[in-house]
Amino acid sequence: MAEEWKIKGKKFLITGGASGLGAAYAENFLKHGAGNVAILDIAEEAGTEFVEKLNATYNDKAIFVKCDVSNEEEIKASFDEVVNAFKRIDVIVNNAGVMNDAPNVWRLASDINWQGTASITMKGLEHMRTDQGGSGGTIINISSGAALTKFSIVPIYSGSKAAVLQFGRSLAIPAFYAMTGIRVLTLVLGATKTALIDDIKSKTFDEVITAPMLPYVQLAEQNIDSAVAAVTKMFEEGTPGSIWLSIYNRPGQDITPTIDAAYGEIEKLLIPDGVESLYDQK
């Protein structure tokens, strides 16, 4: 494990951290010696209560900042508040996410899943990059198994998570880490026992179209503890730009070679003969 990839002493910012997986990630990092954790969430009451609980156990190392990650002004203000409180941010976990393709929800959900992730990543880049005076760090973006398969009942959610996956792959070109000192990691998360997947029938884009599909949707849910263990393993072992899979209560797995091989075959169709691709760069 590289020294800079140890959890101990690091200062974390976690979106969607008031409950579910975000809260589990936060408590886990503190258990492993994190210096501070900032919880960003729109759920003010839940976030405040959770941080009070954390601080009673972990000696006032956590703060709560109310933030709607679909709102650019709130993202900027919240990021600045965390920097002012901690002086630096070492690790960002873009965990906030909504799986809901219902007609009155999907646009907001897409703003949270994709644009919120991109915005906070860009602010992390500006703050962390060593070539402009920052200290480097790690940015973890949470994708989904829905990004890699046809999850037809929630195609908008699937598209937003595919965007997160491709964003991380495209950002973390070989020269990126060497230039910025920022390690981008992407977690492909399988179905996990959280509220995200509750009452999935009401979250489809069209109940009439999706009704025949629903009986065939089999979500083999993993426990939250399994996803948390995968994030820990990825943080401690993941090389810059790597993509990890957490599914079926199995140990976290680096699937970067598989993803790169699949995309590499597609890229061959797009690049003229004799032109070097990103996959050829060292």
The mean pLDDT value of the chain amounts to: 91
| Confidence category of residue 208, pLDDT binned at 50, 70, 90 | low
Is the pLDDT at 1 greater than 60? The verdict is no
Single out the residue of 248, 282, 243, 245 nearest to residue 263, CA to CA.
243
Task: Give the SS3 label for residue 206.
Answer: coil
Is the pLDDT at 278 greater than 60? The verdict is no
pLDDT at position 135: 96
Section 233-247 average pLDDT: 96
- Determine contact, residues 239/185, Cβ cutoff 8 Å: no
Is the pLDDT at 28 greater than 60? The verdict is yes
Q: Which of 58, 157, 216, 248 is catalytic?
A: 157
Is the pLDDT at 217 greater than 70? The verdict is no
279 is catalytic: no
pLDDT at position 190: 85
Identify the burial level of 175 via C-beta atoms within 10 angstroms of its C-beta, where 0-12 means exposed, 13-18 middle and 19 or more buried: exposed
**d(Cα 226, Cα 26) in Å, to the nearest integer?**
15
Q: Where are the domains of the chain?
A: 3-280
pLDDT at position 58: 97
Which CATH class for the 3-280 domain? alpha beta
pLDDT at position 198: 63
pLDDT at position 272: 77
